[in-house]
Amino acid sequence: MKVLVVGANGQVGKHLVKKIQDTEGLQAKAMIRKEEQASYFKDLGAEPVVVDLEGTPDEITKATEGVDAVVFTAGSGPNTGPDKTMLIDLDGAVKTIEAAKSAGVKRYVMISSFDTTREAIQEAPSSFSPYVAAKHYADDWLRRTDLDYTIIHPGMLTNDEGTGQIEAAEKVERGEIPREDVASAILASLQQESTIGKEFQIVGGSKSVHDAVKDL
């Protein structure tokens, strides 16, 4: 299975590309936005493709052609304003969903935010609410497609070493999770068709990632 990782140069993205490359039968196409980021992925044996999420839908569709699954783990990050939140976390995400449809790629895994309900938009501090709104509508766009989607809602991401142990359910207590374990949960979702059509929250826990995802 060839997987397009959107946001491959990000912190979760890099863990994910490595895990994909280390898994037999899986291969990563790493979507990055700068040519100078390509050598890292070539060294892993992955196929880099340089496309900016602010680019045209056609450019994103072209990058999506020939893969079997798309994972969206890009994000505008905390150091830009609501303008980039709109253009990357919402419009960028929607363009990749539409690209998957146009390219005939059925499988799509979205890395969302922990809580993207309407209530969460209302309750978020004003500095955070545009991001929650962007994620809310990107998730909603995906749910309204006929893609084989999975929406993963991770808790607060940390750079701690992965433990391989998580808690996963439709609703879990808010908590932290190492980025490496998020990457493992994405991989487990890609490998287990039972996650198609499901969405769930994940935080650090006490079940192996494989079992936590299998038991959803």
The two beta strands, 207-208 and 165-169, are: antiparallel
Known catalytic membership, residue 131: yes
Determine which one of 40, 108, 131, 149 is catalytic: 131
| Binder of ligand NAP out of 69, 74, 109, 213 (CB under 6 A) | 74
| Binder of ligand NAP out of 3, 4, 5, 11 (CB under 6 A) | 11
In whole angstroms, what is the distance from residue 184 CA to residue 192 CA?
A: 12
Nearer to ligand NAP, 53 or 133 (CB): 53
Residues 49-68 that bind ligand NAP (CB under 6 A): 52-54
- 29 torsion bin: left (phi>0), alpha (psi -120 to 50), beta (else): beta
What distance, in Å, lies between the first and last C-alpha atoms of the chain? Answer: 23
**Using rule CB under 6 A, residue 204 touches ligand NAP:** no
Residue with structure tokens 């209302």? 122
Classified as helix, coil or strand, 199 is strand
**Using rule CB under 6 A, residue 26 touches ligand NAP:** no
Helices (H), the chain: 11-21, 38-43, 57-64, 82-84, 93-103, 118-123, 129-143, 179-191, 209-214
**Using rule CB under 6 A, residue 76 touches ligand NAP:** yes
174: Cβ contacts below 8 Å, ≥ 6 apart: 114, 115, 155, 156, 203
Considering only 5-13, 143-151, 160-168, 202-210, which stretch makes contact with ligand NAP by CB under 6 A? 5-13
**Using rule CB under 6 A, residue 113 touches ligand NAP:** yes
| Shortest separation between residue 137's beta carbon and ligand NAP, angstroms | 14
**Using rule CB under 6 A, residue 184 touches ligand NAP:** no
> What is the contact surface with ligand NAP in residues (CB under 6 A)?
7, 9-13, 33-34, 52-54, 73-77, 88, 111, 113-114, 154, 156-157, 179
Active site residues: 131
